[in-house]
Homo-oligomer: A and B are copies of this chain.
Amino acid sequence: MARFLDIFTVWNLLLVSIAINLSFILKLSVDNQPLIAGDGALKDELSLQGTHLSVSSSTSYSFSSSAPSVDGDDERVINLDHGDPTMYERFWQEMGDEATIIIPGWQSMSYFSDITNPCWFLEPEFAKQIVRLHKIVGNAVTENRQIVVGTGSTQLFQAVLYALAPQDAEQPISVVSAAPFYSSYPAITDCLKSGLYRWEGDATHFRKEGPYIELVTSPNNPDGFVRRSVLNRTEGILVHDLAYYWPQYTPISSPADHEIMLFTVSKTTGHAGMRIGWALVKNKEVAKRMVKYIELNSIGVSKDSQLRASKILDVVSDNCESSANNKSLFEFAYHVMAERWQLLRAAVKVSGLFSLPEFSPGFCSFRGRFFESQPAFAWLKCEEPIEDCESFLRFNKILTRSGKYFGVGVQYVRISLLDRDDNILLFINRLSNITIDDVYQHLKER
């Protein structure tokens, strides 16, 4: 551990120096080289020549052969409120036709995928690829599990609430999660004023008697920490949201082995537009009730997206198994995240106005080495005299999500780090240029 801390102190010094020069670097025309570094040293990648600070402004529909100039970007509003995983577009562009799918007009017309499966709308090939990928990555036990597919893990979360809530209870079952919790949990749980379940807020302060559902998001959205249940009562049912338990974000310590585990393609491969998630569920009856909810809510899940997701997972697994490391999705995303976090930490140090969570290195069985978590979101704290972090960053044309939506104070914000390169680099550059004068200016104008 001490060795790592030493290394990271040296790194921090280096990164402070890099960050100071960042705004100059960004003004240079930067090459559109692949960010995948293979086994090369990270130090080389971050060299000040900037050849690996690759910027792609390409949309999802076309390639960009030249990097954009960041001149004139001072006025641009940078929206990092949502966790839109467009960072992955470049990887899939580099894969070319490998992940292309062709669907003839006559395919997948029926509502049904497999009437012998309790989850009758689950495409068998997708189920196969889910099991295969979990085995390769080693992040979840799939044996003796029912797989339930959903229109994103958002629909699956609601299916879980429906499945676990007693149908004949006088009172709705309590739903809790330790703060800071995923900002959408309260709104989704309470939007229909259901008589089956009710949001009861921060699990840490939950004192009510009786049955409850505790949501354990690990690594946590928004702060990235690995989590366990905070309540350990006999009447509790645990639901594990493992959307970010992938080796680009956090070390894979062992295969997760919980009663109900939720995953989503969005944060695994970057295909948010597919709206595909899956649940691994031990109890058959719970799985059946989840299927019932999805039947009532949307009569199943898009087959086109399931077929495409199968193909995407297939390519990811094939490339993990091959020796061509530069085609590994997880290696690509690991290195992008590593660079982003290092630049962000350096920028934060330079400004002196913010702080970020610190993570201890952990051993990742998939990568075969130690590393620190590098979450999909930065959980940024604004230091005094900044009062409202979201408002202050908005004043600096950076849109983020306020800590108040996550059950904590306005001194925190959640910032997506999954956006395209140009947006992230512009954001880090802007953050590093914020001074105490900007804080006083903001306080004056409020």
- Which A residues lie at the B interface, using CB under 8 A? 60-61, 82, 84-86, 88-89, 92-93, 95, 97-113, 151-152, 154-155, 158, 162, 184, 187-188, 191-196, 266, 270-276, 293, 296-305, 308, 311-312, 315
Residues of B within 8 A of A85 (CB): 109
Shortest CB–CB separation between residue A313 and chain B, in angstroms?
A: 11
Residues of B within 8 A of A95 (CB): 105-106
Contact between B108 and A296 (Cβ–Cβ < 8 Å)?
no
State the oligomeric state as a number of copies. 2
**A161 nearest in chain B by CB position:** B192
Shortest CB–CB separation between residue A262 and chain B, in angstroms?
A: 14
Shortest CB–CB separation between residue A401 and chain B, in angstroms?
A: 14
**Could you tell me the distance between the alpha carbons of A298 and B312 in the complex, rounded to whole angstroms?**
21
**Could you tell me the distance between the alpha carbons of A351 and B273 in the complex, rounded to whole angstroms?**
52
Residues of B within 8 A of A270 (CB): 109
Say whether, besides A101-B103, A303-B274, A191 and B86 are in contact (CB < 8 Å): no
**Could you tell me the distance between the alpha carbons of A113 and B275 in the complex, rounded to whole angstroms?**
13
**Could you tell me the distance between the alpha carbons of A22 and B353 in the complex, rounded to whole angstroms?**
84
Contact between A61 and B192 (Cβ–Cβ < 8 Å)?
no
Contact between B106 and A103 (Cβ–Cβ < 8 Å)?
no
Contact between B196 and A193 (Cβ–Cβ < 8 Å)?
yes
Shortest CB–CB separation between residue A275 and chain B, in angstroms?
A: 5
Shortest CB–CB separation between residue A433 and chain B, in angstroms?
A: 27
Interface pairs (17), CB distance under 8 Å: A84-B111, A89-B106, A92-B106, A93-B106, A109-B270, A109-B271, A109-B273, A110-B272, A111-B266, A151-B297, A151-B302, A152-B299, A155-B297, A297-B297, A302-B304, A304-B305, A305-B305
From B99, B109, B192, B275, give the contact of A302 (CB < 8 A).
Answer: B275
**A300 nearest in chain B by CB position:** B275
Contact between B104 and A88 (Cβ–Cβ < 8 Å)?
no
**A302 nearest in chain B by CB position:** B302
Residues of B within 8 A of A110 (CB): 60, 84, 86, 272-273
Contact between B296 and A184 (Cβ–Cβ < 8 Å)?
yes
Contact between B99 and A100 (Cβ–Cβ < 8 Å)?
no
Residues of B within 8 A of A266 (CB): 111
From B82, B102, B192, give the contact of A196 (CB < 8 A).
Answer: B192
Residues of B within 8 A of A100 (CB): 102-105
Shortest CB–CB separation between residue A188 and chain B, in angstroms?
A: 5
Q: A95-B106, A152-B298 are in contact. List 16 more A-B contacts (CB 8 A).
A: A84-B110, A84-B112, A93-B106, A101-B102, A103-B308, A110-B273, A111-B266, A151-B301, A151-B302, A162-B191, A184-B296, A188-B297, A193-B195, A302-B304, A303-B305, A304-B308
Shortest CB–CB separation between residue A71 and chain B, in angstroms?
A: 24
